Amino acid sequence: MAFRLRVLSVLVLMIAAVRPAAALDIALSSFTLGNGMQVVVIPDHRAPVVTHMVWYKVGAADEPKGKAGIAHFLEHLMFKGTSNHPVGEFSQLVRANGGDENAFTTQDYTAYFQRIAKERLALVMELEADRMQNLVLTDENVLPELKVVQEERRERIENDPSGLLAEQLDAALYTAHPYGKPVIGWMTEVQQLTRQDALDFYAAHYEPGNAILVVAGDVTPDEVRLLADRYYGVLKNKRPLAERIRTVEPDAVAERRVTMRDARVSTPIWQRKYLTPAARALPQRDELAMSILAEALGGGAQSRLYRTLTIDKRLAAYAGAWFSDDQLDSGDFGVYAAPNPGVEPATLEKEVDVILADLRDKGITQDDLDTIRNRMIAESTYMLDSQETLARMFGVALTTGQKIDDVLNWERDIAAVTVDDVSRAAKRVLDLRASVTGVLLPEAGG
Amino acid sequence: MAFRLRVLSVLVLMIAAVRPAAALDIALSSFTLGNGMQVVVIPDHRAPVVTHMVWYKVGAADEPKGKAGIAHFLEHLMFKGTSNHPVGEFSQLVRANGGDENAFTTQDYTAYFQRIAKERLALVMELEADRMQNLVLTDENVLPELKVVQEERRERIENDPSGLLAEQLDAALYTAHPYGKPVIGWMTEVQQLTRQDALDFYAAHYEPGNAILVVAGDVTPDEVRLLADRYYGVLKNKRPLAERIRTVEPDAVAERRVTMRDARVSTPIWQRKYLTPAARALPQRDELAMSILAEALGGGAQSRLYRTLTIDKRLAAYAGAWFSDDQLDSGDFGVYAAPNPGVEPATLEKEVDVILADLRDKGITQDDLDTIRNRMIAESTYMLDSQETLARMFGVALTTGQKIDDVLNWERDIAAVTVDDVSRAAKRVLDLRASVTGVLLPEAGG
């Protein structure tokens, strides 16, 4: 699953910014099995295929003390076979039946999915339900995979200065909440993970009552209910679910800054992240105001950051902003820019701060709002053409404390956002005390 | 125990910098009871009193996920009575017998001690041994005490900008290690602590096999052994000790900075902390070279920081440095200065960096070394005149991975430190990647 996390972070980020239009004709149905497993069915009859996803409401932020990386490591180990299907058979069967599969781990959820011909839905359900309870781990399988995970970390973090910086930024931004810990885990803890750690985490969190089934594709709710009952409904929850220990991040009191020098860096990068309330803690309308704020600030070539820094003043090679609210306990609002040769990052930062202050003081115009909103709606319609994206969106929403209605009412809610909402969002978000600023530089004198 | 932590942090810091001279005539003896409880006896016949200390090898860094502050909270609750002595009786008996008592919690250890007439040693041993195993906690006692701890946090952290900044600095300096969490705990977690949390922590860590008894005073080793066997030796370890989960802090890769503005601040404060290896990880000689480095840099009016910034350039109201190696897993080396009115902290920082660079490049002279060493030895001899300090020193050493011999050989080891050792120490310590710089400022425009 080497590169899934990165793929996800990008995808979810887009998803977070663009929810589906209510106009989208989804005859969605949702129900719960006797064992508490939630089921969401999204009919999509454009092609005779289905996307089958199982989402566990557990992620890196739920890891026990000292076991950083165990959620992601277990995701890898879920492919190591069960008492019914030896190692490798799962993936072989999926491929042999013309399907493909995927898995990913975040701070809040771990998800497994397959895309396959509709006639094979029962097959993947049987396989997924099987590994929900019958995983078999041997040191012969676990120990080599632990090396794989360490190598994955080396590739994505140690060997990538921007990856290292991102990790340091989160570590500095969160003082107490586990989001300050990287999903892939600190190398010093990952190296210590054991087969037993994985089995303990599996036993504590992989239960039908802690899972959500999302099926999108050429099926009816009744067909899905029948199969879901047969394969998942028969599973018993073996124990009470482990408590999710999520510290409430204390109120931010200080501006933080991380400066990293690395010989591998040629172009400096400047960025800042602001902590924002969790999506579930605000009305969706306020969340969407933050998305619109991010778009106004740094969404594309017409955005204020890009226009001013890249086109008008030629200070930056590129500049942008993002808003991500795909987490259970908090979101983050980011701003970034890459100084042109000869431009001091500090100079660039001053210019960014001027743009931010202007936006905070003056807000945006109705024209800005309308333009951005129309673009977001158009993009969402385009994105939702993908069955996988569609299915993934509901999985993300339901594992991060949001409701199906939030997704379905997206266009209604974004239509309700006013310029005043955006101004309030700017004042709420752009508070340096809740921020970390990161600067990545070439080695001194380098 | 409201202000113990602060008192301790100061004391230990001095202790860390000045260990006792081997010349000091200590007929120290050390032995272990059948249940694994270590005993250290330090005869001191100058007065008919004894200092009795029990040190538990557990502190805030050993707290379970989400239970920040439970180690310190339990320290408070240890005074709430046992099945043999109702709440209050412990302290009453100590006072009624002319003694006084104390307790403190750090990241690595929790200690309880009494100073009392030699004839009463058996009494305090009986009481301390009793509460090691028979603590009784009721919600009537626990809930009000939880309010006390929260108030203690308000007084010492929330109401003290420098306390808040110190907390933020540690949170930024440690990326993965629990030392980034304050001993008193994050308020959002402290508020959630329960009676059961305290009982669980007590059961997991308060065992004779996890404790060290230190007795200093007008007693002989044989007398102490007799009493220790009678009161502590009879106790059984009820369960295997809970594992101490101490993440190895990943290699530092980025310079960090924390800027805090607070309306309550009148004079800005600038400071920087560097992470250093744990005392147990280096030969004492290298540790002492770091102590000498701190003295050369910021120990008193003759130090480079004070002389240059305060006397010569009149940039700072005060300036100094410290080195603290009283922790099990890492030490820290600190530099601080308070800019005079009208002096920008950034200006002051530039000057500090010049002084640091000079020290790193040129090191110190033999004269510097001799002067500093003589002063440290003189101070240590003076400090060790205190029976409590003497006893405390061995407790700290033994609970932070150091050896009795490290303490006893202090003067021999400091005598061996060369100017080259100090230069190597400067190059090892003064690495910005392993540092956090903190600036405390008045509210903007204030």
The token pair at A445 is 């004198």
Helix, coil or strand: residue B443: coil
pLDDT of res. B24: 53
Q: Please report whether residue B334 resides in a domain.
A: yes
The token pair at A435 is 């921020």
User: How far is residue A216's CA from residue A201's CA, in Å, rounded to a whole number?
Assistant: 29
Judged by a CB distance cut-off of 8 A, whether residue A247 touches chain B is: yes
Shared-domain flag, residues B273 and B218: no
User: How far is residue A21's CA from residue A407's CA, in Å, rounded to a whole number?
Assistant: 8
Question: Residues 47..66 of B with a Cβ closer than 8 Å to A: which?
Answer: 64-66
Residue in A closest to B249 by C-alpha: A188
* Contacts B172 to A, Cβ<8 Å: 172, 256
Q: Please report whether residue A66 resides in a domain.
A: yes
Shared-domain flag, residues B207 and B336: no
Nearest one of B345, B293, B339 to B313, comparing CA atoms = B339
Residue in A closest to B433 by C-alpha: A260
Give the count of domains, chain A.
2
Nearest one of A149, A177, A165, A167 to A252, comparing CA atoms = A177
Residue in A closest to B163 by C-alpha: A253
Place of tokens 């002084």: B355
pLDDT of res. A381: 82
Judged by a CB distance cut-off of 8 A, whether residue B164 touches chain A is: yes
Q: Would you please indicate which residues of A are annotated as catalytic (active-site) residues? A: 75
* Contacts B345 to A, Cβ<8 Å: none
DSSP state of A64: P
Q: Please report whether residue A89 resides in a domain.
A: yes
Q: Which of A172, A181, A187 sits opposite B172 (nearest CB)?
A: A172
Residue in B closest to A437 by C-alpha: B257
Nearest one of A172, A192, A170 to A183, comparing CA atoms = A170
The token pair at B435 is 């540092």
Q: Please report whether residue A247 resides in a domain.
A: no
Judged by a CB distance cut-off of 8 A, whether residue A34 touches chain B is: no
Shared-domain flag, residues B192 and B288: no
pLDDT of res. B416: 96
Q: Please report whether residue A250 resides in a domain.
A: no
Helix (H) or strand (E) holding A199: helix A195-205
Structural domain range at position A417: 256-442
**Mean pLDDT to the nearest integer, B273-291:** 95
Pairing state of beta strands A49-56 and A211-217?
A: antiparallel
Residue in A closest to B246 by C-alpha: A66
Q: At what angle do helices A70-77 and A195-205 cross, to 10 degrees?
A: 90
The token pair at B441 is 């400022």
Mark yes or no for CB contact B257/A259 under 8 Å: yes
Mark yes or no for CB contact B253/A247 under 8 Å: no
Shared-domain flag, residues A272 and A414: yes
Judged by a CB distance cut-off of 8 A, whether residue A281 touches chain B is: no
Mark yes or no for CB contact B247/A165 under 8 Å: no
Helix, coil or strand: residue A41: strand
The token pair at B90 is 């412990």
* Contacts B189 to A, Cβ<8 Å: 176, 247-248
Pairing state of beta strands A38-43 and A269-277?
A: unpaired
Helix (H) or strand (E) holding B439: strand B435-442
Shared-domain flag, residues B304 and B398: yes
* Contacts B187 to A, Cβ<8 Å: 250
How does DSSP assign B187-199, residue by residue?
A: HHHHTT--HHHHH
Q: Phi and psi dihedrals of B428, rounded to 5?
A: -70, -45
User: How far is residue B178's CA from residue A66's CA, in Å, rounded to a whole number?
Assistant: 9
Nearest one of A175, A65, A113 to A395, comparing CA atoms = A113
Judged by a CB distance cut-off of 8 A, whether residue A434 touches chain B is: no
Nearest one of B273, B317, B286 to B439, comparing CA atoms = B273
Beta-sheet strand order (sheet of B29-32): B29-32, B38-43, B211-217, B49-56, B110-117, B100-105
User: How far is residue B212's CA from residue B408's CA, in Å, rounded to a whole number?
Assistant: 18
Pairing state of beta strands A330-339 and A435-442?
A: unpaired
Distance, in angstroms, between A171 CA and closest chain B CA? 6
Helix, coil or strand: residue A408: helix
Give the rounded distance of the alpha carbon of B303 from its chain centre: 24
Mark yes or no for CB contact B186/A175 under 8 Å: yes
Give me the CATH number covering residue A277: 3.30.830.10
Mark yes or no for CB contact B181/A176 under 8 Å: yes
**Mean pLDDT to the nearest integer, B289-295:** 97
* Contacts B66 to A, Cβ<8 Å: 245-247
Mark yes or no for CB contact B168/A186 under 8 Å: no
Give the rounded distance of the alpha carbon of B1 from its chain centre: 15
Shared-domain flag, residues A260 and A216: no
Residue in B closest to A193 by C-alpha: B247
Give the rounded distance of the alpha carbon of A334 from its chain centre: 15
* Contacts A200 to B, Cβ<8 Å: none
User: How far is residue B217's CA from residue B391's CA, in Å, rounded to a whole number?
Assistant: 9
Rg (CA), chain A: 22
Three-point CA angle B312, B316, B317, nearest 5°? 110
Shared-domain flag, residues B287 and B192: no
User: How far is residue B246's CA from residue B328's CA, in Å, rounded to a whole number?
Assistant: 10
Which one of A153, A159, A164, A168 makes the best mutation probe of the B interface by having the most chain B beta carbons within 10 Å?
A168
Distance, in angstroms, between A164 CA and closest chain B CA? 8
Place of tokens 């910021």: B298
Rg (CA), chain B: 22
Q: Please report whether residue A180 resides in a domain.
A: yes
Share of chain B above pLDDT 70, in %: 94
Q: Please report whether residue A242 resides in a domain.
A: no
Q: Which of A164, A175, A258 sits opposite B168 (nearest CB)?
A: A175
- pLDDT bin (cut points 50, 70, 90) of residue B18 is very low
Give the count of Cβ contacts less than 8 A between chain A and B: 99
Residue in A closest to B170 by C-alpha: A175
The token pair at B74 is 């339990």
Q: Which of A231, A264, A299 is the last residue of a domain?
A: A231
DSSP state of B327: S
Give the rounded distance of the alpha carbon of B364 from its chain centre: 28
Shared-domain flag, residues A24 and A154: yes
* Contacts B70 to A, Cβ<8 Å: none
Mark yes or no for CB contact B257/A253 under 8 Å: no
* Contacts A253 to B, Cβ<8 Å: 164, 168, 260
* Contacts A246 to B, Cβ<8 Å: 66
Q: Which of B68, B164, B249 sits opposite A253 (nearest CB)?
A: B164
Residue in B closest to A158 by C-alpha: B253
Mark yes or no for CB contact A64/B68 under 8 Å: no
Q: How many CB atoms lie within 10 A of CB B117?
A: 16
For CA atoms B307, B312, B313, B314, the dihedral sign is: positive
Out of A60-64, A272-276, B324-328, B384-388, pick the least confident: B384-388
Q: Give the Å distances, CA to CA, from A317 to A262, A305, A336, B398.
A: 20, 11, 11, 56
How does DSSP assign A287-343, residue by residue?
A: HHHHHHHHHHHHSSTTSHHIIIIIIIS--EEEEEEEEE--SSSEEEEEEEEEEPTT-
- pLDDT bin (cut points 50, 70, 90) of residue B347 is very high
User: How far is residue B16's CA from residue B4's CA, in Å, rounded to a whole number?
Assistant: 17
Shared-domain flag, residues B83 and B182: yes
Mean pLDDT of chain B: 92
Shared-domain flag, residues A355 and A223: no
Distance, in angstroms, between B6 CA and closest chain A CA? 22
Shared-domain flag, residues B57 and B200: yes
pLDDT of res. A25: 64
Q: Would you please indicate which residues of B are annotated as catalytic (active-site) residues? A: 75
Beta strands in B248-346 (DSSP E): 255-262, 269-277, 316-324, 330-339
Q: Are the beta carbons of A232 and A215 closer than 8 angstroms?
A: no
User: How far is residue B190's CA from residue B70's CA, in Å, rounded to a whole number?
Assistant: 7
Mark yes or no for CB contact A65/B68 under 8 Å: no
Nearest one of B132, B75, B16, B95 to B392, comparing CA atoms = B16
Judged by a CB distance cut-off of 8 A, whether residue A171 touches chain B is: yes
Which one of A248, A272, A349, A431 makes the best mutation probe of the B interface by having the most chain B beta carbons within 10 Å?
A248
On the 0-12 / 13-18 / 19+ scale of CB atoms within 10 A, A362 is: exposed
The model's pLDDT over B50-65, given as tens digits with 9 standing for 90+, comes to 999 999 999 999 999 9
Helix, coil or strand: residue B7: helix
Q: Give the Å distances, CA to CA, from A31 to A36, A196, A230, A237.
A: 10, 34, 15, 18
Burial B82-112 (b: 16+ CB within 10 A, else e): beebeeeebeebbeeeebebbbbbbbbbbbb
Q: Please report whether residue B169 resides in a domain.
A: yes
Q: Which of A246, A255, A259 sits opposite B254 (nearest CB)?
A: A259
The token pair at B72 is 């310190």
Q: Would residue A88 be called left, alpha or beta, if left means φ above 0 and alpha means ψ between -120 and 50 degrees?
A: left
Out of B2-11, B150-159, B161-170, B356-365, pick the least confident: B2-11
Nearest one of A181, A201, A278 to A244, comparing CA atoms = A201
* Contacts B168 to A, Cβ<8 Å: 175, 253-254, 256
**Predicted TM-score of the model (pTM):** 0.92
pLDDT of res. B381: 83
Shared-domain flag, residues A39 and A167: yes
Q: Phi and psi dihedrals of A408, rounded to 5?
A: -70, -30
Residue type at A429 in one-letter notation: V
pLDDT of chain A, 446 residues: tens digit per residue: 322 333 333 333 344 444 444 445 678 999 999 999 999 999 999 999 999 999 999 999 999 999 999 999 999 999 999 999 999 999 999 999 999 999 999 999 999 999 999 999 999 999 999 999 999 999 999 999 999 999 999 999 999 999 999 999 999 999 999 999 999 999 999 999 999 999 999 999 999 999 999 999 999 999 999 999 999 999 999 998 888 999 999 999 999 999 999 999 999 999 999 999 999 999 999 999 999 999 999 998 899 999 999 999 999 999 999 999 999 999 999 999 999 999 999 999 999 999 999 999 999 999 999 999 999 999 888 888 899 999 999 999 999 999 999 998 999 999 999 999 999 999 999 999 999 999 999 997 54
Q: Which of B65, B249, B255 sits opposite A245 (nearest CB)?
A: B65
How does DSSP assign A110-177, residue by residue?
A: EEEEEEEEGGGHHHHHHHHHHHHH-B---HHHHHHHHHHHHHHHIIIIIT-HHHHHHHHHHHHH-SSS
